[in-house]
Amino acid sequence: MQRNITVAYGNGIGPEIMDATLRILDAAGCNFKYDVIEIGENIYLSGIKSGIAPESWDVLRRNKVFLKSPITTPQGTGYKSLNVTIRKSMGLFASVRPTVAYTNVIHSHFPNMDLIVIRENEEDLYAGIEHQQTGEVIQCLKLISKPGTEKIIRYAFEYARAFGRKKVTCMTKDNIMKHTDGLFHKTFLEIAKEYPEFETNHLIIDIGSARIADYPESFDVIVTLNLYGDIISDIAAEVAGSVGLAGSSNIGDSFAMFEAIHGSAPDIAGKGIANPSGLINGAVMMLMHIGMPEKAELVQNALLKTLEDGYHTPDIYKEATSRVRVGTNEFADEIIKRLGQRPVILKEVKFNHDFKPIYVKPSPYVKPSKELDGIDVFVDWVGTDRNPNVLGAKLSEIASKTDMFLKMITNRGVKVFPDGFSETFCTDHWRCRFKRKSDDTKINHNDIFNLQKMIFDEGFDIIKTENLYLINGERAYTLGQGE
Ligand code: NAD
């Protein structure tokens, strides 16, 4: 049966590497019909700031699978990242980026490196919720959800299982972000119990990144949050020495996008010398995703054989390891000639032929019990000399007329009232924590609104508030540093 695939030729070297890739897929007998959409530079410049025309969305939705060449993002503000737009609009929660060293064929500092970064793709600081509410401080909201975390971690384990991997490493910064990153780590530990065949471990992201740069061979599958994953997948690609070779996928419940990890390389566009391997590897991931493991194996083994036979594009050509310097088209021709052959020096790829596309579901929603414990009121204030004791005395007096008390004030997270250090530098952004008088005191939204009204009436500029809850009986907010 013929299958429709949405294709975008992209910009710069995009059309050259896409032509090469589609020729290989056709020669491998994939029987695809390509629905071509235009995205990127021309669409941006025609005034559509997202880089995708409305009619292209229909094609994307209909076909559910998208093979995309790199696109050029025009310089200047106002252009949205097309990748971020597609990821968010189409619910692409998982980014999967394998990085492998082609030992003895292409130079790499780490010949045994073969790792996959699986990164949460929709949440974290990438929600893009930023505010400036005082003259001196700007915030960015880090949002981590339980369903989002469960889905990506389960996906990582299912992926590891489907691809015969042995070890899954989780990376977070939960020594600092105990609740957001803490949820990710805790969920990892819980879900890992369902996959006892894997060796599992957790690393704090800073030492984890350092180890990827120094001992990448010690990693297999890494699962992490959006920002950390973005950074470590680039570190991994860089140390493998193969930015032009790696492919990646972005996976959602009903839609997936496959591409090379590199950009549109305008410096070599039109010269016929671009390396199409990254997009070919992206296409191999696509073949696996849509349940065509034999074709994925056929194409990838032919690519590996071509590389080990020394047919190299200029970006990877080296006297010591290469035999013939080829352009994009000749490289594709050599791959096509080798369809059906297997590599000898490089490890032959054998995929699981029973592979089924991976679908994951988060657990059903369970309404938690919530008890209001207090409120953090943020105020924009400098007073005469930014003295926290002045602010503290005034707010304590206001709170004394309510069922709450001023527990503390922090400035950039550091406790400055009561008993702060005089050395702590204070900005104009103060977090004032009011708690109910005792565990037996019941407070509701009316109480916290009244408190805010009283603070406002005394002339304070309230810029935002955060409710403090006990969720299922547990404190669901962090203590201030020094609280
Ligand atoms: P780039 O990846 O395009 O190029 C970096 C360097 O690597 C260049 O010297 C280039 O010639 C080389 N290179 C990249 N791919 C190659 C290949 N397949 N074969 C041989 N050499 C290759 O990064 P850049 O220059 O920072 O970005 C150029 C444009 O691409 C920008 O507009 C950027 O926004 C865009 N971009 C798009 C994507 C995407 O669509 N997924 C990703 C990254 C960058």
List, for residues 374-407, the tens digit of each pLDDT value.
999 999 999 989 999 999 999 999 999 999 999 9
Residues of the chain with pLDDT > 70, as a percent, come to 98
Of the ranges 50-64, 67-81, 129-143, the best mean pLDDT one: 129-143
The confidence band for 138, taking pLDDT boundaries of 50, 70 and 90, is very high
| 224 in Cβ contact with 119 (< 8 Å) | yes
| 268 in Cβ contact with 132 (< 8 Å) | no
Residue nearest to atom 37 of ligand 1 (CA): 263
Q: Residue 301, Cβ neighbours under 10 Å: how many? A: 23
Q: What CATH class does 1-93+242-352 carry? A: alpha beta
pLDDT tens, residue by residue, 429-477 = 999 999 999 989 999 999 999 999 999 999 999 999 999 999 999 999 9
Q: Which of 482, 395, 460, 391 is nearest to 434 (CA)?
A: 395
Mean pLDDT on 251-259: 94
In the predicted structure, residue 112 carries a pLDDT above the cut 90: no
| More confident position, 89 or 371 | 371
Compute the distance between CA of residue 178 and CA of residue 167 in angstroms, rounded to an integer. 25
| CA of 265 relative to ligand 1 center, distance in Å | 4
pLDDT of residue 77: 65
In ligand 1, the atom with minimum distance to the C-alpha of 278 is 18
B/e letters for 303-312, b = 16+ CB within 10 Å, e = fewer, are: bbbbbbbbbb
Residue nearest to atom 8 of ligand 1 (CA): 265
| More confident position, 101 or 340 | 340
| 156 in Cβ contact with 275 (< 8 Å) | no
| CA of 262 relative to ligand 1 center, distance in Å | 5
Of the residues 97, 257, 264, 303, which should be mutated to test ligand 1's pocket, given the most ligand atoms within 8 Å of the CB?
A: 264
Compute the distance between CA of residue 431 and CA of residue 214 in angstroms, rounded to an integer. 41
On the CB side of 275, CA atoms within 13 Å amount to: 24
In ligand 1, the atom with minimum distance to the C-alpha of 262 is 2
Q: For residue 40, give Cα distances in angstroms to 79, 82, 274.
A: 10, 7, 19
Compute the distance between CA of residue 91 and CA of residue 165 in angstroms, rounded to an integer. 26
pLDDT tens, residue by residue, 280-302 = 999 999 999 999 999 999 999 99
**Radius of gyration in angstroms for the set of CA atoms belonging to the chain, rounded to a whole number:** 27
DSSP secondary structure letter of residue 459: T
Domain 1-93+242-352 and domain 370-475 have a common topology: no
**Average pLDDT of the chain to the nearest whole number:** 93
pLDDT of residue 88: 83
Residues in contact with ligand 1 (CB, 6 Å cut-off): 13, 70-73, 83, 244, 259, 262-268, 274-275, 278, 315
Compute the distance between CA of residue 303 and CA of residue 242 in angstroms, rounded to an integer. 14
| 321 in Cβ contact with 309 (< 8 Å) | no
Mean pLDDT on 332-346: 96
pLDDT of residue 320: 84
| CA of 229 relative to ligand 1 center, distance in Å | 19
| CA of 190 relative to ligand 1 center, distance in Å | 39
Of 3.30.420.40, 3.30.70.1570, 2.30.40.10, 3.60.20.30, the CATH number of 370-475 is 3.30.70.1570
pLDDT tens, residue by residue, 67-101 = 999 988 777 666 777 877 888 888 999 999 999 98
CA 52 centroid distance within chain:
21
pLDDT of residue 78: 67
In the predicted structure, residue 156 carries a pLDDT above the cut 90: yes
Whose tokens are 């029973």? That residue is 354
- Tokens linked to 331: 């490289």
Mean pLDDT on 43-51: 83
Q: Which of 49, 61, 56, 119 is nearest to 90 (CA)?
A: 61
On the CB side of 53, CA atoms within 13 Å amount to: 13
Of the residues 13, 106, 258, 262, which should be mutated to test ligand 1's pocket, given the most ligand atoms within 8 Å of the CB?
A: 262
Backbone φ, ψ for residue 116 (5° rounding): -130, 125
In the predicted structure, residue 65 carries a pLDDT above the cut 90: yes
pLDDT tens, residue by residue, 305-334 = 999 999 999 999 988 889 999 999 999 999
Compute the distance between CA of residue 232 and CA of residue 246 in angstroms, rounded to an integer. 14
Residue nearest to atom 7 of ligand 1 (CA): 265
| CA of 299 relative to ligand 1 center, distance in Å | 24
| Burial tier of 410 (Cβ tally within 10 Å: 0-12, 13-18, 19+) | buried
pTM of the full predicted structure?
0.91
Residue nearest to atom 30 of ligand 1 (CA): 263
Compute the distance between CA of residue 446 and CA of residue 468 in angstroms, rounded to an integer. 14
Q: Which amino acid is at 281?
A: N
In the predicted structure, residue 212 carries a pLDDT above the cut 90: yes
| More confident position, 279 or 483 | 279
In ligand 1, the atom with minimum distance to the C-alpha of 315 is 20
| 69 in Cβ contact with 217 (< 8 Å) | no
Does residue 217 sit in helix, strand or coil? helix
Furthest C-alpha separation in the chain: 84
109-240: CATH topology is Isopropylmalate Dehydrogenase (3.40.718)
In ligand 1, the atom with minimum distance to the C-alpha of 40 is 40
Q: Residue 68, Cβ neighbours under 10 Å: how many? A: 26
In the predicted structure, residue 482 carries a pLDDT above the cut 70: no
In the predicted structure, residue 426 carries a pLDDT above the cut 90: yes
In ligand 1, the atom with minimum distance to the C-alpha of 276 is 18
Compute the distance between CA of residue 171 and CA of residue 108 in angstroms, rounded to an integer. 25
pLDDT of residue 239: 86
Residues of the chain with pLDDT > 90, as a percent, come to 78
Residue nearest to atom 10 of ligand 1 (CA): 265
- Give domain limits for the chain: 1-93+242-352, 109-240, 370-475
Does residue 133 sit in helix, strand or coil? coil
The confidence band for 366, taking pLDDT boundaries of 50, 70 and 90, is very high
| CA of 277 relative to ligand 1 center, distance in Å | 14
Residue nearest to atom 42 of ligand 1 (CA): 263
Q: Which amino acid is at 474?
A: E
pLDDT of residue 60: 94
**Residue 119 forms beta bridges with which residues?**
95, 224
Residue nearest to atom 41 of ligand 1 (CA): 70
